[in-house]
């Protein structure tokens, strides 16, 4: 099995969880579009850092990849297979943060940040 095939299996699972999490959220339409745009920006930033630092570490001979399991496509010195991890992080982490039913507001505050009156009981 190649690293690209392994990444494909992993990314299918990540995409399924992401879509499942987003399906149950209240944000729809423009809100969901903003979510995808933000995830794209996060991916691009993580991908640039991955390519730069992987290239430096490969150049410094800190690690090597088994060419037998690689596609041979590279950006700089970094194999494209390494971009699966920033893609997974950019999709999965925000999706899990917005998982349906997740209550991330402190007790006594509303989602707008205002406090609610204390329960007299």
Residue 18 belongs to some domain of the structure: yes
pLDDT at 109 over 50: no
- What confidence score (pLDDT) does residue 114 get? 54
User: CB under 8 Å to 17, separation ≥6 — which residues?
Assistant: 92, 95, 96
What total of structural domains would you count in the chain?
Answer: 1
Structure tokens of 107? 């007790």
pLDDT of 12 strictly over 90: yes
Asked, for residue 115, whether it belongs to a domain, the answer is no
pLDDT of residue 111: 52
| CA–CA dist 43, 18 (Å, integer) | 14
Domain of 90? 3-97
Provide the whole-model pTM: 0.70
Does 65 fall in a domain? yes
Residue 87 lies inside a defined structural domain of this protein: yes
The model's confidence at residue 117, banded by pLDDT at 50, 70 and 90, is: low
Residue 58 pLDDT: 92
Would you state the pLDDT for residue 105?
Answer: 47
Q: What are phi and psi of 72, to 5 degrees?
A: 95, -10
pLDDT tens figures, 50-76: 999 999 999 999 988 888 888 888 999
The answer to whether residue 93 is domain-embedded is yes
């Amino acid at each position: 099995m190649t690293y690209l095939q392994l990444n494909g299996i992993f990314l299918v699972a990540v995409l399924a969880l992401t879509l499942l999490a987003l399906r149950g959220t209240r944000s729809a339409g423009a809100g969901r579009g903003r979510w995808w745009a933000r995830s794209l920006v996060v991916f691009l930033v993580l991908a640039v850092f991955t390519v730069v630092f992987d290239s430096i570490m490969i150049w410094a001979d800190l690690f090597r990849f088994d060419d037998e399991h690689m596609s041979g496509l590279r950006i700089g010195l970094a194999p494209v297979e390494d971009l699966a991890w920033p893609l997974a992080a950019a999709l999965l982490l925000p999706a899990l943060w917005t998982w349906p039913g997740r209550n991330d507001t402190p007790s006594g505050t509303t989602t707008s940040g205002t406090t609610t009156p204390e329960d007299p009981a």
